Amino acid sequence: MSAILSSRNIVELPPEEAADLRSKVGERLAEIVGQRWVTTEPAILDTYCWQYLAEAAVGSRWMFRPLAVVLPETSEEVAAIVRYCNAEGIQFKAISTGFGAWGAATRPDSMVQIDLKRMDRILEIDAKNMYAVVEPYVTGNELQTEAFKVGLNTHIAGVGGQASVLASATSMMGQGLDGVSMGFSCRNLLGAEWVTPEGEIVRVGSFDSSGRWFSGDGPGPSVRGIFRGFAGALGGLGVFTKAAVKMYPWEGPEKLTFTGTSPNYQTEIPEHQLSALCIVDGWDGMAELGYRLGDSGIATVVNRTAPSPMGAVFTADNNEFVDIYSIPFVHELYYTLAVIIQAHDAEEFEYKVDVLKSILSDLGGGMIANLPFRQYTYWFARFSRTLSRRVGIKMILRSVPGLLKMFTKMGRHFGLRRLPTSMSSLVYESAMRSGMNLRGIFRFGGTFWTAMGSLVSWDTAIKGAKVGAQVKQKYIQRGQFFDDGADNAWGGLYENGAYSHLEELACYDPTEEKSGDTAIGYIFETNLASAEHHLSLPLNAVGPQASMFFGPLCRNYQAWQVKIKQAYDPNDASEGSSYVMPDYKPGGVLKKLVMTVLDDRAEIDLTKDL
């Protein structure tokens, strides 16, 4: 059962017919890219079926097999593949690093999977004009590594540094931990080379007229709004083969240094940089802290991670996580923000740190940070005091044995000398390089899905976190989601706090029967709650199912999407089941699931705190 399947009339070709079609498609694609870079072998095709969230999309760990997988090397080859698909009446979908069910086939024997792995060059880093031009398979981690060498940094999507820069910038939302200083992927796209759904190569932004990529909005034509809009078309509107993304200043060294071994690397926090875990008391304090950090403009990263994924990031496996999570106060660390500060010189650094201290003093907060020993001790004491004010000194005392055990273990991993700064180092690695994010979400049960996450004001995002947690609690009580204390809101500020997002993560075992239904139920219910509590469009307001619900509430944006899709993709060649399907009608199974959710909704009480 699945939301997508239930909306489609799935027709499977007879086996012989399917084999003939695969063979024909494979031969023609080989003429375009060479035999070596095309496959129709079932074992290889299957590795494109197994996708994150497939259990929710199609009720199985496996999406459908594509007809073929093809690895082009140039934009011209991509265009030729797209034109061939149009001519033959078959669909195509491109992936780069390819992480998610939206990249895979949703019907059998219907689609060519274009894997852009071979297009993996950083074409240019223009340090003077602060932009980079990349091909699809360049990851955030790779671009950041090279950007550091010329004094630049790049936004990395929250999914992690292993994911494609281009895919996030052109086709997804791409929120991340560094949004306060570097925005999010949607906002960083300066231009793109776009193979339209019919196979025309189009260059947009200033590149179209000047040959440079510094502006997405002219003097050449800007069609960013058309091909990606707010949330991206998730591969449903052609293929992107180059992207220019905005870069940001990096005040650190050309290469970061680190000590230790996997999974306990410790990055040396560069000079004039601060990595702090800040704490305040309650959601109101969190709201104030976020706004003041945004207004002050001192931070490179402001990120909120809930206690459970924070515990996962700090530990090597789930058993170790249980040890740490058993320390009574650890799962009470709700009101924390990770803050990274970078400065050009000592004077600027001192100013920025003083501002942070001032904010925390005003709010009665504290921090654990890589400060000189006396300051470290003072602010650590304030951190403990802030926490004990809420949870009580008894809980803090009860935590001591567990803490000692944890410190002993960390001392073994990192060395006693590094113990005071080890937490700051882990926060830094997680926040600055997006290198540890997946530990915090996939390891608990095997997978996760996420809800809420509107781009709104910070206190509205916090309101959304409360709503999301209360919806999720029902599923936790039924044992369907990992019991993370219900609050697993992750997100932060964007563009100096002009807007923000907090999404409510839910972790579960995807191998459990009906786990996909559970996840869809949760998403539907949180989407409903988002609308009812005026929380704006959530992360999951994408795809035809969600658009049916949210469109009428938001000026019928789905009608515009349909028009765009029909205008640019008259043959419906660009597989768009996660974007828009002009003929979409919900199937009976989905309707039944919706009714089940409507009959059994969680009660939301916004006066309740966590």
Segment interacting with other proteins (CB under 8 A) among 238-246, 291-299, 438-446, 574-582 = 438-446
Q: How far is the CB of 434 from other proteins (least distance, A)?
A: 7
Q: How far is the CB of 289 from other proteins (least distance, A)?
A: 23
**β-bridge pairing 499-508 and 366-369:** unpaired
* Binding-site member from 18, 150, 201, 395 for other proteins (CB under 8 A): 395
Q: Binders of other proteins among 6-25, rule CB under 8 A?
A: none
Q: How many residues does the chain have?
A: 610
Closer of 164 and 558 to other proteins (Cβ): 164
Distance of CA 535 to the CA centre of its chain: 19
Closer of 116 and 493 to other proteins (Cβ): 116
Residue type, 206: S
Q: Is 31 in the site for other proteins (CB under 8 A)?
A: no
Q: Is 115 in the site for other proteins (CB under 8 A)?
A: yes
Taking residue 390's Cβ as centre, other Cβ atoms within 10 Å add up to 16
Closer of 83 and 118 to other proteins (Cβ): 118
Closer of 466 and 565 to other proteins (Cβ): 466
Give 452's contacts (C-beta < 8 A, 6+ positions apart).
464, 465, 467, 468, 489, 502, 503, 504, 526, 530, 535, 538, 539
Q: Is 488 in the site for other proteins (CB under 8 A)?
A: no
Interface size with other proteins, residues (CB under 8 A): 87
Closer of 296 and 473 to other proteins (Cβ): 473
Give 304's contacts (C-beta < 8 A, 6+ positions apart).
286, 336, 337, 338, 489, 490, 491, 492, 502
Closer of 7 and 164 to other proteins (Cβ): 164
Phi first, then psi: give them for residue 123, nearest 5 degrees.
-80, -30
Q: Is 142 in the site for other proteins (CB under 8 A)?
A: yes
* Binding-site member from 214, 248, 265, 560 for other proteins (CB under 8 A): 265
Q: Is 35 in the site for other proteins (CB under 8 A)?
A: no
Residue 205 gets the label, from left (phi > 0), alpha (psi -120 to 50) or beta, of left
Closer of 110 and 113 to other proteins (Cβ): 113
**Residue 147, both tokens:** 């950007």
Q: Is 92 in the site for other proteins (CB under 8 A)?
A: no
Residue type, 287: A
Q: Binders of other proteins among 567-596, rule CB under 8 A?
A: none
The answer to whether the beta carbons of residues 359 and 293 sit under 8 Å apart is yes
Q: Please choose, from the candidates 384, 348, 364, 362, the residue with its C-alpha nearest in 3D space to the C-alpha of residue 274.
A: 348
Q: Please choose, from the candidates 574, 478, 453, 546, the residue with its C-alpha nearest in 3D space to the C-alpha of residue 56.
A: 546
The 3-class SS string of 279-331 reads ECCHHHHHHHHHHHHHHHCCCCEEEECCHHHHHHHCCCCHHHHHHHHCCCCHH
Q: Binders of other proteins among 278-317, rule CB under 8 A?
A: 316-317
Q: Is 50 in the site for other proteins (CB under 8 A)?
A: yes
Segment interacting with other proteins (CB under 8 A) among 140-148, 345-353, 414-422, 527-535 = 140-148
Q: Is 610 in the site for other proteins (CB under 8 A)?
A: yes
Closer of 19 and 346 to other proteins (Cβ): 19
The rounded distance, in Å, linking the Cα atoms of 537 and 374 is 46
The answer to whether the beta carbons of residues 3 and 545 sit under 8 Å apart is yes
* Binding-site member from 2, 4, 7, 52 for other proteins (CB under 8 A): 52
* Binding-site member from 19, 322, 553, 559 for other proteins (CB under 8 A): 322
Q: Is 126 in the site for other proteins (CB under 8 A)?
A: no
Q: Binders of other proteins among 365-394, rule CB under 8 A?
A: 391
From residue 209, give the alpha-carbon distance in Å to each of 131, 133, 187, 219: 17, 16, 21, 7
* Binding-site member from 293, 427, 507, 590 for other proteins (CB under 8 A): 507
* Binding-site member from 117, 187, 390, 601 for other proteins (CB under 8 A): 117
Q: Please choose, from the candidates 154, 126, 159, 127, the residue with its C-alpha nearest in 3D space to the C-alpha of residue 432.
A: 154
Q: How far is the CB of 477 from other proteins (least distance, A)?
A: 9
Q: Please choose, from the candidates 560, 314, 557, the residue with its C-alpha nearest in 3D space to the C-alpha of residue 440.
A: 314
Q: Is 93 in the site for other proteins (CB under 8 A)?
A: no
Segment interacting with other proteins (CB under 8 A) among 82-90, 291-299, 501-509, 578-586 = 501-509
Q: Is 466 in the site for other proteins (CB under 8 A)?
A: no
Instruction: Tell me the chain's radius of gyration from C-alpha atoms.
Output: 24
* Binding-site member from 30, 256, 589, 604 for other proteins (CB under 8 A): 256
Q: How far is the CB of 96 from other proteins (least distance, A)?
A: 10
Q: Is 258 in the site for other proteins (CB under 8 A)?
A: yes
Q: How far is the CB of 193 from other proteins (least distance, A)?
A: 20
**β-bridge pairing 266-267 and 38-39:** unpaired
* Binding-site member from 13, 30, 62, 296 for other proteins (CB under 8 A): 62
Q: Please choose, from the candidates 191, 189, 219, the residue with its C-alpha nearest in 3D space to the C-alpha of residue 204.
A: 191
The answer to whether the beta carbons of residues 165 and 273 sit under 8 Å apart is no
Q: Is 84 in the site for other proteins (CB under 8 A)?
A: no
Q: Is 145 in the site for other proteins (CB under 8 A)?
A: yes
From residue 338, give the alpha-carbon distance in Å to each of 220, 331, 507: 40, 16, 22
Q: How far is the CB of 452 from other proteins (least distance, A)?
A: 16
* Binding-site member from 141, 375, 388, 457 for other proteins (CB under 8 A): 141
* Binding-site member from 161, 205, 521, 544 for other proteins (CB under 8 A): 161
Give 240's contacts (C-beta < 8 A, 6+ positions apart).
94, 136, 166, 167, 170, 171, 192, 193, 194, 195, 227
Q: Binders of other proteins among 403-432, rule CB under 8 A?
A: 429
Identify the bridge partners of residue 98 per DSSP, sorted by sequence position. none
Q: How far is the CB of 282 from other proteins (least distance, A)?
A: 16
Closer of 138 and 456 to other proteins (Cβ): 138
Q: Is 42 in the site for other proteins (CB under 8 A)?
A: yes
* Binding-site member from 86, 480, 496, 545 for other proteins (CB under 8 A): 480
The rounded distance, in Å, linking the Cα atoms of 189 and 556 is 25
* Binding-site member from 222, 296, 318, 375 for other proteins (CB under 8 A): 318
At residue 570, the 3 state secondary structure works out as coil
Q: Is 262 in the site for other proteins (CB under 8 A)?
A: yes
* Binding-site member from 227, 482, 522, 579 for other proteins (CB under 8 A): 482
Q: Is 443 in the site for other proteins (CB under 8 A)?
A: yes
